[in-house]
Amino acid sequence: MNDQKGRLIVALDVETFEEARKMVDALSPIVEIFKVGSQLFTACGPVVVRYLMAKGMKVFLDLKFHDIPNTVAHAVSAAVGLGAEVHEVLGENQEAVQPAGGLFMCTLHTLGGGEMLRGAVEAATQRAKNLGVTKPLLLGITILTSEVKTDNMPTILLERARLAKASGLDGVVASSQEASLIRREFGRDFIIVTPGIRPKGAATQDQRRVSTPAEAITNGSDFLVVGRPIIEAGDPVRAARDILREMAESKKVGQY
Ligand code: C5P
């Protein structure tokens, strides 16, 4: 189960820093990657990113940048800058602040086009070099997992994934149902992050193209993003542990 720890990303989709802090403190013994998305970042800003980094957690900043190339390049550069700062945010009597090594992941919409994506890769690479931190893995959003499946979806998905790859991105965010298509075309050297994960029997909520943790691993996903099935569970630690177990029990498809 331990080797799955590095592949589970918990989406901190909560309203306040206090709620996020409680969730991170409870889950940090068994989870090491946390996703900060537009809800939490809009509500409390960089403090939550600094808190996570100070605790030695990996941060996935999921702001899905999509704007003119100049704006996105500066936004990505600012995000890389966040990964270099860790202020004292743990409060008194807590463990020592860990050195910041950079953000772990960050998202951009492939719909923004090649110029926007290439500009973002260049800006992230340059800023990380200047600051002496690791460049975050830049991931392209292909099709949201809440979108209804259509017949031309595989074609659109592969076009967007090709654009992401050609523009220098490190991987894509895609549903488990499309992960195997991406693996087949791009091989192992392209990261697939999959949200829309629902353990067997769980409610799908607004997600449409869902899969179980085991299916996602079997289809070739590298990282699984789980929000509500963990953060809204009566016992989030137990829910995360069950998902890690289910991931560990899956069989990775050998051909990829
Ligand atoms: O609660 P749930 O497990 O559905 O949360 C999924 C998380 O993954 C949310 O934070 C959502 O923003 C994110 N996400 C997604 N689909 C994408 C990209 C990110 O659901 N294509």
CA distance 189 to 3: 19
pLDDT value at position 89?
58
Residue 39 has pLDDT above 90, yes or no: yes
Kindly report, residue by residue over 42-61, the tens digit of the pLDDT.
999 999 999 999 899 999 99
Task: Residue count of the chain, please give it.
Answer: 256
Residue 256 has pLDDT above 50, yes or no: no
Atom 15 of ligand 1, residue of closest alpha carbon: 195
Catalytic residue among 35, 55, 58, 64: 64
CA distance 22 to 31: 14
Residue 116 has pLDDT above 80, yes or no: yes
User: Which CATH number fits the domain 2-248, given the four candidates 1.10.357.10, 3.30.420.40, 3.40.50.450, 3.20.20.70?
Assistant: 3.20.20.70
Kindly report, residue by residue over 201-238, the tens digit of the pLDDT.
777 888 787 899 999 999 999 999 999 999 999 999 99
CA-based nearest residue to 250, from 227, 224, 219, 217:
217
Cα 96 to ligand 1 centroid, rounded to whole Å: 32
Kindly report, residue by residue over 160-197, the tens digit of the pLDDT.
999 999 999 999 999 988 999 999 999 999 999 999 99
pLDDT value at position 253?
47
For ligand 1, what atom is nearest to the CA of residue 231? 1
Structure tokens at 203: 């409610």
Cα 227 to ligand 1 centroid, rounded to whole Å: 7
- The percentage of the chain sitting over the pLDDT mark of 70, rounded to a whole number, equals 91
Atom 14 of ligand 1, residue of closest alpha carbon: 195
Domain ranges of the chain: 2-248
Dihedral sign, CA of 120, 188, 9, 54?
negative
Three-state SS for 142?
coil
CA distance 192 to 65: 18
b/e 133-152 (16+ beta carbons within 10 angstroms → b): bebbbbbbbbbbbeeeeeee
Cα 196 to ligand 1 centroid, rounded to whole Å: 6
Residue 125 has pLDDT above 90, yes or no: yes
Is 200 catalytic? The answer is no
Confidence of residue 88 (pLDDT cuts 50, 70, 90): low
Atom 13 of ligand 1, residue of closest alpha carbon: 195
CA distance 130 to 192: 28
Residues 6 or more apart whose Cβ sits within 8 Å of residue 249: 214
